[in-house]
Amino acid sequence: MCGIVGYVGQRDASSVLIRGLRLLEYRGYDSAGVAVLTNGDFALRRSVGKLQNLEDLLAESPATGHSGIGHTRWATHGRPSEANAHPHRAGRVVLIHNGIIENFLALRAELRANGRDFSSETDTEIIAHLIDGYLSDGDDLAAATRRAIARLEGSFAIVVMSVDEPGRLVAAKSATPIVIGLGDGENFVASDIPALLDYTRDMLFLEDGEMAEIDSSGVRVSEFDGTVVERDPRRITWDPVTAQKGGYKHFMLKEIHEQPQAIIDTMRGRLLLEDGDIFLDDFDLGKEWWKDVERMDLIACGTAWHACLVGKFFIEKFARIPCNVDYGSEFRYREPILDERGLLVVVSQSGETADTLAAVEEARRKGVRSAAICNVVDSSITRRADAVLYTHAGPEISVASTKAFVTQLTALLLMALFLGRRRGTLSAEECRELIEAMVHLPSPLREALALAPSIETMARRYVKAENFLYVGRGLNYPIALEGALKLKELSYIHAEGYPAGELKHGPIALISETMPVVVLLPKNGSFAKTLSNMKEVESRGGQIIVVTDVEDDEIDQVARDVIRVPSVHPMLMPILLSLPLQLLSYYVAEHRGTDVDQPRNLAKSVTVE
């Protein structure tokens, strides 16, 4: 959830940058910085913590000039620190970046071999070094940036400046947003529209694979290969709220589409690919706390409880610690057995859910360690728990949870891998394989989101349904529960989730031609068994909707609708499968005309018991 702002014109650049960063503050950050061109060189000011710290620094030590770039950062590669804060400087270049460079280890090794020194642990700094290197070959800033981005794998939005070309910004975009604000004798660049609405409503949007050269008098857009792009600006008439919805009809749809970025933000700074390990320095339960954990209780409500059910799979598989999962509202009243060898983990988006909070308090009363996986910084639960692992999903405004859920899954996986490595139940090799799969996950997630138009069409066929079943197996069974919950709360259609193998123990009696059954059918060890469950449904006339990564004619013959998703590591399938189910619920509800962002009778944060 990093924020980007850039400016070139006649105003005081520092003030424009700070104002823009303030308007992006809701996205969260751990450090911030600006670089302003002052008397032929860059004044670089960076600080950890609140934006106010950066403002205080600028008050003490002003950066005066009319062009510059600014950034708020959530740590990715490397901890939150001043050295890791953006902008990064390499030689003649300063640069800010959102996203993750997946091949940064190889590039860093290459640059080191060429005598380059690094002053941070970030993947970003290597981009600045690449560009500076190409400038030394005689390229101008745009050409050097073009050559550098041709070397990058991963997602990025960058803005770069060079001392040699004052008053010029070069921006490039691949999978992470960049918007350019057009002014009169001044121009702006940002990661998000709200950052610029105080200055201009005329905006140019970069597409993936495009670059922009920006100075105070104009903007030149081109593709990475240099082909010039002619694009008319759009006038943004959105009020501030619509601007925050990013132009989507609902916050929910925006948040569904933010999920690839949200899980990147959860993983930031926590993956040690080289070592095959997980780094959780913000999660501290005391010295070597993991050694004597003999059991874990995972407690939450609603969607977060579904995340815990998947978390149990992760923790038991990788850390071999027995796990109990319970609803907050049940746990507190059943005299739970807790002792000092246990660890209680609560999972909550809001950090305010009364029943979940009560579980933490119960743990405190009994002298048991507690930890929270939470999204909202400094919420009640985070203040009560002994340690917190933040999900960094950014604000979730839609009442129905989407990006909070997939980031909870991601955080639980990180916790399981962390414990597995410390306790010796997971090898560095196995951990590295999973980390690699996690780093690559955003692309298949984007492919799954690209299915939205076909899911929208498909959803029309089910608007009149009165009941739905969702079935899955193993770690995808909780995703069936979550799919059913999403449909219920958004569309008010009755829906149930079951383990696929349970169908014949009762629920199969419900199957008729009017019953849509969503079958989660990923390629894994239980594929054949779930396929035969699906045939049981078919032979009773049920309308089958399959979500699968398998190309198989048999599936197409049996199913009424097939949602075909990309394949990912089986442990990451619960995250991937969540997306089409969210879209299905969203579009069924949309077609039924319900209030998607604020379904009836529901509240975003349930602070009553």
Q: Which residues are catalytic?
A: 2, 604
| Least Cβ distance, residue 388 to ligand F6R (angstroms) | 14
The pair of three-digit structure tokens given for residue 22, joined into one six-digit string: 């303030």
Question: In this complex, which beta carbon is closest to ligand F6R, that of residue 38 or of residue 401?
Answer: 401
Residue linked to tokens 């916050």:
251
| Least Cβ distance, residue 301 to ligand F6R (angstroms) | 4
- Three-class SS state of 212: strand
Report yes or no: 513 and 538 within 8 Å, Cβ to Cβ: no
Task: Render the burial of 345-380: b for 16+ CB within 10 Å, e for the rest.
Answer: bbbbbbbbbbbbbbbbebbeeeebbbbbbbbbeebb
Helices (H), 366-476: 380-384, 403-423, 428-440, 442-449, 452-460
| Least Cβ distance, residue 72 to ligand F6R (angstroms) | 24
Question: In this complex, which beta carbon is closest to ligand F6R, that of residue 72 or of residue 382?
Answer: 382
Question: In this complex, which beta carbon is closest to ligand F6R, that of residue 169 or of residue 606?
Answer: 606
Could you list the beta-strand ranges (E) of 102-182.
154-162, 169-174, 179-182
| Least Cβ distance, residue 8 to ligand F6R (angstroms) | 42
| Least Cβ distance, residue 380 to ligand F6R (angstroms) | 11
Q: Distance of CA 12 to CAs 166, 199, 537, Å?
A: 15, 13, 67
Report yes or no: 80 and 132 within 8 Å, Cβ to Cβ: no
Question: In this complex, which beta carbon is closest to ligand F6R, that of residue 349 or of residue 578?
Answer: 349
Spatial separation of the C-alpha atoms in residues 478 and 309, rounded to whole Å: 6
Spatial separation of the C-alpha atoms in residues 521 and 527, rounded to whole Å: 6
Give the helix/strand (H/E) hosting 26. none
| Least Cβ distance, residue 329 to ligand F6R (angstroms) | 10
Spatial separation of the C-alpha atoms in residues 344 and 386, rounded to whole Å: 10
Question: In this complex, which beta carbon is closest to ligand F6R, that of residue 306 or of residue 473?
Answer: 306
Helix%, strand%, coil% for the chain, nearest 5? 40, 25, 35
Question: In this complex, which beta carbon is closest to ligand F6R, that of residue 102 or of residue 352?
Answer: 352
Q: Distance of CA 542 to CAs 476, 509, 516, 534, 536, Å?
A: 21, 11, 6, 9, 9
Q: φ, ψ for residue 254 (rounded to 5)?
A: -60, -45
Binding-site ranges for ligand F6R (CB under 6 A): 301-304, 348-350, 353, 356, 400-401, 489, 605-606
The residue number with the shortest CB distance to ligand F6R is 302
User: CA-CA-CA-CA torsion for 573, 575, 579, 585, nearest 10 degrees?
Assistant: 100
| Least Cβ distance, residue 480 to ligand F6R (angstroms) | 15
